[in-house]
Amino acid sequence: MGIIKSQGIKNTILSYAGVIIGSLSALLIYPLDRAAYGLAAFLYNTAFFLLPFASFGITSAVIKFFPRFKTNDSNHNNGFLSLILSIGISGYLLFLVLFLFFKDQFFEILARLNLGAGSLPDNYVFILLLLFSLLIIYIFTFFLNNYREIVVPSFFQNFLYKIFLPAVVFLHYLEYIDSQSFSTCIVSFFLFVAVALIAYTAYLGYFNLKPFSRKFITPPLKKELRTYLSYSSLNVIGNTLAFRIDMVMVAMMLGFSMNGTYGILFTLASTIDIPNKSIIQIASPIISESWEKNNVSEINNIYKKSSLNLITLGVFLFLGVWLCLDSLLDLSTNTNSLAEVKYIFFFLGLAKLVDMITSVNSQIIIFSKFYKYNLIFIVLLGVMNVVSNYILIGKYDVIGAAIATFVAMCVYNAVKLIFIYVKMGMHPFSINTFKSIVIGAIAYGIAFYVPSAENPFLNILLKGSIFSLIYLTTILYLNIAPDITQLAKETSLKAQGFFNKEK
């Protein structure tokens, strides 16, 4: 867990710096122009939704097959970079031709299903350009992950966007730019990120477009690669249907403004699973290598430790934000529009917790010999989520999308947990997992019944401090999560050393 913890901590710190900016933007900037923010969310999520259709599933294969191509000369790797780029770009060009040929029929179908509010016909050029940018970004992000490089890609792709997006939303609000220029700015940013990641890869000495050796890619390897890409592509499609379709369907059924409202609460909920993203990003190549070496004990160790650390942090973040959510929304520049839909955060937050407690179960399946089974799980779930979003959004408006996401996350992770336990004899839970949940519930209950202050700042400080003090002190005293306890001790020692030097 050493390198996972080290890279994970660095990426988590960077991510939370972005989260602070993103949360402030969600409260102060985005409510000023919910339609612009909803448009940005629609463009990104629609492009992301189309990514597996346009990439032949190559992004997952970047990590899966890297150990096969790996050489002592990191600048070569048997032409692996050339191979994945050629497959990815070929997939995009094929998708582009098919889309342009059938787009009129596709738009007509959407209109008949009452899915035209998102103005897809007016924005498809921006989406196609954004799709190509995301393809390059994810290929190079996962390629760099193989070298345990996650911090810099995260900086370009996530942190800078947290600064960039509120700036252009505010410019649109002030009417300095129109909607066309706004969409152009969004696409231009991701094109910049794609170029920056290519440049960073070259700077590290990993960028080599030497053609891949056809002799190295033996018929058995070619067959395995083709099979994996087929299943991987369908897996990613199902996964996108399961967990990305909500913001696309809200925009198309309810419009950009309501999608902006959903996106604001989604941003606040995203503060919960930042550690999850960091851990999964760095754990994926290690799990892939461990399966290659049949090191099941290492995978089991990562599974349990990741789950314990993530649920401990997740409970703290979810309950802490939910406890103070009313006061946080009182600070918003458009309080009334957000307070009415705060349960979006509740259901999305619970969905994040479910995903965190099950930690790296998707990666364990995807990189194992059982990866084909994941296709069954994810496709069924994807179809279920599309149907449930369509029904629940129509019945419960925007909150219905959050409920659909929560239900999908519960079903999906429950199925994977059972599968891993039956096929591999592993599960992520321990008695400490449930202790952290109980401690969180007790700390929340105590802080909740403390009399509220009238000022929202004081109320956040009062209730947040009481909850944090009770929860964190108990977790550390009982050593519920040893990795977190060790990190706290190391941080304390470093702080003491710093202040001793100052004296």
Q: Residue 104 is which amino acid?
A: D
What is the reported pTM?
Answer: 0.77
Q: Any idea what DSSP says for residue 156?
A: I
For 413-426, the pLDDT digits (tens) are: 898 899 999 999 89
For 120-129, the pLDDT digits (tens) are: 778 889 999 9
Domain boundaries, the chain: 2-429, 430-493
For 153-176, the pLDDT digits (tens) are: 888 888 899 899 999 999 999 999
For 171-222, the pLDDT digits (tens) are: 999 999 998 999 999 999 999 999 999 999 889 888 877 776 666 677 777 7
pLDDT level of residue 1 (50, 70, 90 thresholds): very low
| DSSP state letters, 60-126 | HHHHHSHHHH--S-TTTGGGHHHHHHHHHHHHHHHHHHHHHHHHHHHHHHHHHTT--TT-HHHHHHH
For 322-369, the pLDDT digits (tens) are: 999 988 888 887 666 666 788 999 999 999 999 899 888 888 988 888
Dihedral-angle region of residue 210 (phi above 0 means left; psi in -120 to 50 means alpha; beta otherwise): beta
Q: Give the pLDDT of residue 213.
A: 63
Instruction: State the greatest distance between any 2 C-alpha atoms of the chain, in Å, as a whole number.
Output: 73
